[in-house]
Structure 1
Amino acid sequence: MSAPHVERRAEHAQPGPVHARDDASVGELIGDLTGDLARLFRDEVELAKAELKEEAAKAGKAAGMYGGAGYAVGLAVLLASLAAVFGLRHVMDIAWAALVMTAVWAVIGAVLYATGRTRMRTVRPKPERAVDSLKEDAKWARHPTN
């Protein structure tokens, strides 16, 4: 699903042809260049925001599907656990069978928690590459001849 407003913004973000003015001073030309760079940066930010909004909507819908799937799996696990308890009832008392299944799920939960916590510590919430790229762009904008 493509967003036409994103494409329209991108078309408008393109600066028109640059014509050198014979009577323009160096200061005016630098001012024009600075204004053009600022406008280009604002247009790029607007385009990025529009793209992120579109992608966030798609991600939200997918997350809803994951939530529904998780609920269905939770019900399946509950029913399988009950079936295991009733199956173990033929070998031991039903109370002990329920306690065994509770212990199994407690161990599974602890392992999943520990694994998730370890992986979460490796997450970097700051977009490092994008920040580095913006720093490079800003450095170039301050000294375009370097």
Structure 2
Amino acid sequence: MKPAERRRARQFAVQAVYQWQITQLNAGRIIDQFEVDQDLSKTDITYFKELLTGVIHHVESLDEKLSPYLSRKIKDVDMVDLAVLRIAMFELTCRTDVPHKVVLNEAIELAKDFATDESYKFVNGVLDKALRSLKLREEVED
């Protein structure tokens, strides 16, 4: 696994989770569409699929974990920001092999790439609070 392949997997996952949030299509159909419509070369496809299916299957618990750190109700969070936050929370809680610092940095970059100009600050603030509360802060400060 190369970091650039993981980054592309996360980029496609943001788009796929966003699509799921709007359409509620099942993960298999979204993955099929991506395999046809996107150039997934140089992408960790397995990780892309895991992020999408993981977010879909754990969305309720991910939203529960995110809610205390949001300044508004989850239904009022911008859909792109929410996709980024859900992926990051999935990685923080379900992919313990991925360093928390990597998750935070990647989420900030995804917000910069896909969301509004100020979204990365919002994403950073939410995840920073979550990391402190989840007692994961020590790894971020290393």
Q: What TM-score do the two structures reach when normalised by structure 2?
A: 0.23
**Bigger Rg over Cα:** 1
Greater relative contact order (CA < 8 Å, ≥ 6 in sequence) = 2
Q: What TM-score do the two structures reach when normalised by structure 1?
A: 0.22
